[in-house]
Amino acid sequence: MIFFLSKFSAQNSLCPRFGFCSLCIAVPKESNIHSLSQLEGKTIATSYPNSTTNFLKKNALSAKMVKISGSVEITPALGVSDAISDLISTGSTLALNDLRLLTKIYDSEAILIANEKSVKSPDKKLLFSSLMTRFKGVLSAKNYKYIQMRVPEEKIEKISKMLPSLTSPTISSISKNGTSTLQTVIKEDALWNITEKLKTFGVSQIFVLPIEKIIS
């Protein structure tokens, strides 16, 4: 991802890992424009004139920018532009408006940014810290699962060391049929591999639960 800014000083504070898309240049399907160089002197409608202009300059090209706020995709059909520069996710909007992709400018995703001057203010710094804690709590929880299981008492120590836990497992002191309850939090991508191994050690009644937030 390329972090583009307008004309203010800001810092990239958090990547929540959603809102993935790409800023692309597209033209009508029947257009005679088939290469980037053919955009020279053309009119491009976009909500992102700075990024588009900078991209063209890097390729030694210039074009007229028409800044549009919303519904950029309809401008070629209205005769307003020869091409568009817009954020594309699935490409369905291009297809619906008889447009085709010409080139990609950069990949993008939603990020949380902070004004550098604002975060230095005592009041705003506290608010920003609180907001970051909430964001991180939700985002961290997305990657983890809470698991609970019945573990043979003689294998508790070995299994505890084997688990890729976020924190040390919690062992219930209540014993039943030679087993105790073990609870812990592990990464979701390690879940299936570890559960198969646990079953070979006599672990049973494995419960896997979602986690809403992790606040550290």
Question: Mean per-residue pLDDT for 24-42?
Answer: 97
Residue 204 has pLDDT above 50, yes or no: yes
pLDDT confidence of residue 1: 42
Residue 188's contacts (CB-CB under 8 Å, 6 or more residues apart) are 143, 144, 145
Give the CB-side neighbour count of residue 71, counting CA atoms within 13 A. 5
Question: Mean per-residue pLDDT for 18-28?
Answer: 93
Sign of CA dihedral 157, 161, 165, 167: positive
pLDDT confidence of residue 11: 64
Give 80's pLDDT tier (boundaries 50, 70, 90): very high
- Specify the higher pLDDT residue, 176 or 63: 63
Which range, 122-126, 133-137, 173-177, is most confident?
Answer: 133-137
Mean pLDDT estimate for the chain: 87
Give 65's pLDDT tier (boundaries 50, 70, 90): very high
Give 114's pLDDT tier (boundaries 50, 70, 90): confident
